[in-house]
Structures are given as C-alpha cells and as structure tokens.
Amino acid sequence: MLVKELKVCLEKAQSAHSVQAKPIINSSERPINLFEYESLASQYLSEMALGYYTGGAWDEVTLRDNREAFERFKLSPRMLVDVSHRDLSTQILGQAVRMPILIAPTAFQCLAHPEGEMATRRAAAEMGVAMVLSTMSTKSLEEVASVPMSTPQWFQLYIHHDRALTRALVERAEAAGFSALCLTVDAQLAGSREKSRRNPFTLPSGMQMANLVTMKGREIPATVEDSRLLTYFTQQLDQSLTWQDLEWLQSITTMPVVVKGILRGDDALRAVEHGAKAVIVSNHGGRQLDGAIATIDALPEVVAAVGDKAEVLVDGGIRRGTDVLKALSLGAKAVLLGRPVLWGLAVGGEAGVHHVLELLRDELNLAMALSGCATLQDIDASLVKRL
C-alpha cells in the first residue's frame, strides 16, 4: 500500500486512542517486518489494550516458546531448481485462497482501530486470504459479512451453557454466508493472564461484544462501562464440553466444523472421527495453559495422526515467511496469523493489515524461491530439520 494511505489511517487511529504517537510514518520509518509493526503498535494502543493483546498465561513460557520453537527448526534448501515462476495459491476446505495464510480469530479489534473487524475484513478480501471472525468481535457478524469477499469466511464459536444461544449464533453465521465454523476447545475456563490482572480489562464506553448484545431475548448486559459483559461471557462457556458436543454442533449446521486448540495426535484423530473437517494446532497464543507445548513442536504428531483424513492448520508465533515455510514443510496446509494483524490494525487500520499480510506473503515467496520451491506442492518434510 502507498505510504500516504498508511498516513491517513494512522491519523484516524490516533483520534481513537489516548496514547499519542508520531503523527505520520514517512518512507524511512515504514515498518519492514512484523516485529517492527509490533514495536510501533505499542505507541498507538492504551496500556490496557496492549496488555490484553500481548499477555500470556502465568509466566508466559508458552507465549515465548511459540516464537522460539521456530528457531530450533532449520531449513535445508534445494539448489538448481527453476523457481522463475512461483505460485502461492492453494485451497482450504475446497475454497481457493491466494496464499496459505489465514487471519486468526482475535477479540475486540476496535480496541486497535475504530473500524476494527471491518478494516481487517476489507484487507483480507483485498489480499485474497481467509478470515476467521471471533465470537467476541466488536462488529457484528452480519456487519462483517456485508463486506464482499471471494475467499473463505469462517466464524469462530464457543459453546455456551445456553445451547439455544449457541444455536442462534450458528444460525446467524450460516445465514450471513460464513462457510465454516471454527470451534475453540481450549478455553472452557479463561487462563490466568497476569498482565490483565494487574491492569484489569474493560471494554471502553461505546464498545460492545456485538454478536451477543444483539441477541434478542437474552439477559446480556447492554452496557460495557465495566467488565460485566466480559465476565458474563466467560462464565457462560460450557465447562462440560465433550466430543459428543462436536457431533451435536454438526447436527445443527451444514457448515463444516474446524476444531481449534488441538496439541496431541490422539485428540486430533478423535476430532476427525467425530466429524471435524480440519483441525488447528493451537495453544491459544500462549494465553491458556502455560507450559503447554509450542505449536510448531506439536504439529508433526498431529499431522502423522490425521494423515489424509482432514486438513491440519497451525497458529502461534508466526512472524516470518520462513516460519510459514517451516510449518508447511512439517505438514500444515496453512497457518493462521493473530497478533500481527492487530499490530497492523493499530498502526494503520485497513492499510496496516494489508501491509502486514503483504510483508509475510513476500517473505514466504522469497523463502520458497531460495529453498527451491516454485509451488506449495514442492514443499515437503525434507526441507526442514530440527536441531
């Protein structure tokens, strides 16, 4: 995107946040990688929002390990391969995307930018990638779905004690045109995130969990002047969730179900046996059980267990195109990008998200070429070694 587009979005972002940063980014200051976006985003986010987005559980061991684990895998590139023409396109659940990168579900995106999930959706549509919308979005699923998009749109779901509420969310998503449900299974209880405990999280006045406050007939607080809405939500998640509930979910929708939060091969196989069309290797960005295995370390076992029975995706710690290449080499069909999307959103709104995706795409393109891979089909386990 042009620098002037980022400047316009930056000015909009500044007006919505109490933390003021430099008024513009000139060409020499424009981020050139995702790490620089993260550093810059801290200037545009309130302390509370930054703590909520960045925080991990307890000592944040898993949060750090998600990133550091990628560095333990080394690439073994092929030479003298014609890579003059490269193709990053693929299909996820039978739907075409321009690259093997999806936008992961992240909550409360309006904390980063006033347009929140709407800006992210537009950037995803422009870049030809799939977006997974969070149940805890600050724009309703109907609003987000109204943005034209030819690539897949998935809806992330938590199962509530109130199954009628859960069913209503599923029916709304299907009616709005979402093409898959992404069931999160690792968050029946919220992990202990000490950054948020020190600086308690509340939604600012005028911001809401849009998918829930629009549920007619539900006793859900309409105001968000304090943390009541978030507390209500976390208390309503069903802690008795079992594999049979996965079957129930499939019985109420025609959308394929993707299970997110898998870290073991046997759980991955159970998910497939109970009807999941794909699994996402995820530890919730290190926000749930601290000490849990890093996702890239868990990926090979899950791929081996699932085989060709379902597609396997992975999230957590992805910051470079080489990270994407390593994940694909270990058997992932695609990766999901979480926090970096929020950094781009905070810095430049839609243009910032677009640029984050652009940077990662270009890095993957270069990494493939330097590894002797012209297409995604050329990527295999021989390219990566764990040291």
Predicted TM-score (pTM) of this structure? 0.91
Number of Cβ within a 10 Å radius of residue 1? 17
Report the pLDDT value the prediction gives residue 282, as an integer from 0 to 100: 98
Judge whether 207 and 138 are in contact, CB under 8 Å: yes
- Interval 2-19: pLDDT, tens: 334 444 443 443 333 333
Give 30: exposed, middle or buried? Use CB within 10 Å, 0-12, 13-18, 19+: middle
Report the pLDDT value the prediction gives residue 215, as an integer from 0 to 100: 75
- More reliable by pLDDT, 162 or 306: 306
Distance separating alpha carbons of residues 178 and 153, to the nearest angstrom: 5
Number of Cβ within a 10 Å radius of residue 306? 21
The mean pLDDT value of the chain amounts to 90
Distance separating alpha carbons of residues 254 and 184, to the nearest angstrom: 18
Report the pLDDT value the prediction gives residue 200, as an integer from 0 to 100: 76
- Asked whether residue 108 carries a pLDDT value surpassing 70, the answer given is yes
- Asked whether residue 218 carries a pLDDT value surpassing 60, the answer given is no
Q: Return the CATH number of the domain spanning residue range 3-373.
A: 3.20.20.70
Residue 316 region, left (φ>0) first, then alpha (ψ -120 to 50), else beta?
Answer: left
Which of the residue ranges 197-201, 257-261, 359-363 would you say has the lowest mean pLDDT? Answer: 197-201
Give catalytic status of residue 284 as yes or no. yes
Distance separating alpha carbons of residues 212 and 210, to the nearest angstrom: 6
- Interval 341-374: pLDDT, tens: 999 999 999 999 999 999 999 999 999 999 999 9
Distance separating alpha carbons of residues 34 and 356, to the nearest angstrom: 6
236 pLDDT tier (thresholds 50, 70, 90): confident
Name the active-site residue from 113, 160, 284, 354.
Answer: 284
